[in-house]
Amino acid sequence: MMDTQMVRLRAMAELETVRSDIRGLTEILDGIALWRPAIGLQKSCEEALFMLDRLAERFDRKLVVTLVGPCGSGKSTLLNALAGEDDLSPAGHRRPTTENVVAFCRQTADAGQLAAQLGPENIRIHASASADALENVILIDTPDTDSTHRNRHIPIIHQAITLSDVLVCVFDGENPKRRDHTDFLAPYVRLFSGASLVVVVNKCDRLAAAELTETIMPEFDRYIRDAWSAEPAAVLCVSARSRLNDPAWDRQAPPKHDRNQFEQLQRLIVETFNRSGYSVDHRLENARRLRIYLEQTVRAEAEKEKKQLDAAIAQMGASEAEAMEQAVAAFRGDGTSLVSGINVRLYQRLAEHWLGPMGWIVAIWTRILVFGAGIASLLRFGNPVRQIFGAVSAVRHYTGSKKAVAAADRGAGTGMALNRYDGAIARAWPDIAEMLIKARFSPSVREAHRAPGHGEKIGQRLSQIWNDALEDELSQVGRRLSGGFLQLVFNLPALGVLGYTGWLTVVNFFSGSILSGDFFLHAFWTIVLVLLLSFFLLQGVIRLVAGREKLVERVFARVRDVVDQQGSLSESPIWRQANTIIGLGN
């Protein structure tokens, strides 16, 4: 008992893994809703999950072998022959001969779970304690697939198949290649592994032996494998009637030969399906096959679109690269104004780091550059783009500075970048949309809002990239131009004059000599001249290290590098879905 429980626990764990994989596939398909095949594939996954739930419910149940066939195929006779009882399932000329599912097992309790799932009104159970050959198997006969009561029978047949472990497809030997029956069984066949699918051509005794052996069976074998793209465990020709206790042959139409593969079918059921432990192993194999089938189906559908999607994505990438180039260029705007603004931001950064007399001069120069309404922008620490626009507006024209600052607060550079980006994408989108439609995307991709540039996300992200690049460059240049050695060199002349003036003043004070006002006036202007000369030299160094155009170009180079590394800045649903489909096909 413990071994049985351990086997069941391991089986349930593996079954849950399969279920998790299919759920993951369902979620992926849900994320590519614009791709039309995804709806049907998702439906298949949902049906598979339903079947797995049923599979989990029947791990403790005996293996169910289900016979399915059209009117007159002789499946009821075949069930009776396999069960060893002539009257177990009704057989005859009245159609339909089988109105309900008929189950044959050793004990009535064996089919209790089936009865609960199908409904007591839809199943008749026949039990025989003498059926030792079916100790681990339940045989069930289903209603005809093409009877006059087809609308009522089909749901019952469908439910019975979903509860089955082995499917025995029965064909009429006198007309085996019936397209309607083959097509009806096709979707169910795909859900059964080769080891659990058996094809039986019944009434073979009604056909000439030579024709049966040389023509009918070889042609049918090829026909069924091509129609289903499946490899059954066996394709057998049988005469079920000949195995009844009382075949009651018509004297006018006796059997034409004794070629019969009934015993092979019987051995397959008794020696393979009836083996202890086969049911758990087989159900797990069916679950694995179900997962493999779904994965292969999704992969095959996705592979069909690879060429079109590769072309569409390449076109999207090219159009986005062009659009992004134009958006980045939009941030430059008036080149002179932008250079002046970045220059002010650089001096603001230096004023934060420089000490001593030269630090005072740098701070004063920064305040001179930023006056009027520009001072408000300067003191509002935060978005460097807005600070630049405020500073530039103050330098250019005092009377228009407030209006320019207000425009900067609304994101003037961002808006222009977004407009240029959207315009470039919009021009390329119609051709891209047609490529996507050829790849079976919904025609709704033609709508303008599906284009990657729609919305403000691009402008916001580009603005953030610009701000980060500007801050990084200003910080780097500010540290280079604020080193201790550099500050000492440029502060030393002014400090030397100040020190010398102070020394003379102190010495003369203690010696009782009073220096004249001209001395202090001359000392003051000497200090001012030294400071100005040092500041002019410092400006030369600043221009050499971070010239007006050099700093701007480095900032734009940083922006372009980040844009290139990030690829698709838009993260549009179309882009993601197309790449997801390509990934499914690999």
More confident call, 191 vs 25:
25
More confident call, 81 vs 393:
81
Cβ burial, residue 583 (10 Å; 0-12/13-18/19+): exposed
Are 471 and 382 members of one domain?
yes
Are 92 and 134 members of one domain?
yes
Cis peptide before 96 (omega within 30 of 0): yes
What confidence tier does 402 reach under pLDDT thresholds 50, 70, 90? very low
Q: How far apart are CA 337 and CA 348, in angstroms?
A: 17
For residue range 193-233, list pLDDT tens digits in order. 666 789 999 999 888 888 888 899 999 988 988 888 888 88
Domain boundary among 228, 251, 273: 273
Closest among 434, 585, 574, 426 to 35, alpha carbons compared? 574
The tokens for 6 are: 């351990």
More confident call, 104 vs 415:
104
Residue 143, domain CATH: 3.40.50.300
Are 325 and 401 members of one domain?
yes
Are 359 and 473 members of one domain?
yes
Are 26 and 106 members of one domain?
no
Are 318 and 435 members of one domain?
yes
Are 95 and 207 members of one domain?
yes
Domain boundary among 252, 273, 294: 273
Are 283 and 425 members of one domain?
no
- pLDDT of residue 310 exceeding 60: yes
Are 269 and 326 members of one domain?
no
- pLDDT of residue 407 exceeding 50: no
Strand partners, 104: 126, 139
Question: How many domains is the chain partitioned into structurally?
Answer: 4
What confidence tier does 411 reach under pLDDT thresholds 50, 70, 90? very low
Q: Is residue 324 within 8 Å of residue 563, measured between CB atoms?
A: yes
More confident call, 242 vs 410:
242
For residue range 269-291, list pLDDT tens digits in order. 777 666 656 667 767 777 888 89
Q: Is residue 555 within 8 Å of residue 462, measured between CB atoms?
A: no
User: C-alpha angle 512/516/519, rounded to 5°?
Assistant: 115
More confident call, 564 vs 34:
34
For all residues of the chain together, what is the average pLDDT?
Answer: 79
Domain boundary among 258, 273, 288: 273
Q: How far apart are CA 185 and CA 191, in angstroms?
A: 10
Q: How far apart are CA 286 and CA 232, in angstroms?
A: 14
Work out the percent of the chain whose per-residue pLDDT is above 90: 14
Q: How far apart are CA 171 and CA 236, in angstroms?
A: 10
Are 238 and 365 members of one domain?
no
3-state secondary structure of 200: strand
Name the region of 191 (left: φ>0; alpha: ψ -120 to 50; beta: rest): alpha
What confidence tier does 380 reach under pLDDT thresholds 50, 70, 90? very low
What is the rounded average pLDDT of the residues 423-434?
82
Q: How many CB atoms lie within 10 A of CB 267?
A: 11
For residue range 117-135, list pLDDT tens digits in order. 888 888 888 888 777 667 7
Q: How far apart are CA 140 and CA 160, in angstroms?
A: 9
Closest among 44, 176, 50, 46 to 117, alpha carbons compared? 50
Strand partners, 429: none
Are 29 and 124 members of one domain?
no
Are 469 and 525 members of one domain?
no
More confident call, 171 vs 276:
171
Work out the percent of the chain whose per-residue pLDDT is above 70: 77
The residue range of the domain holding 507 is 483-545
Closest among 392, 281, 263, 261 to 338, alpha carbons compared? 392
For residue range 80-110, list pLDDT tens digits in order. 888 777 776 666 544 445 567 888 888 888 8
Cα dist from 340 to 391, 393, 536, 543, 584, whole Å: 8, 10, 18, 13, 52
What confidence tier does 297 reach under pLDDT thresholds 50, 70, 90? very high
Supply the DSSP symbol for 212.
I
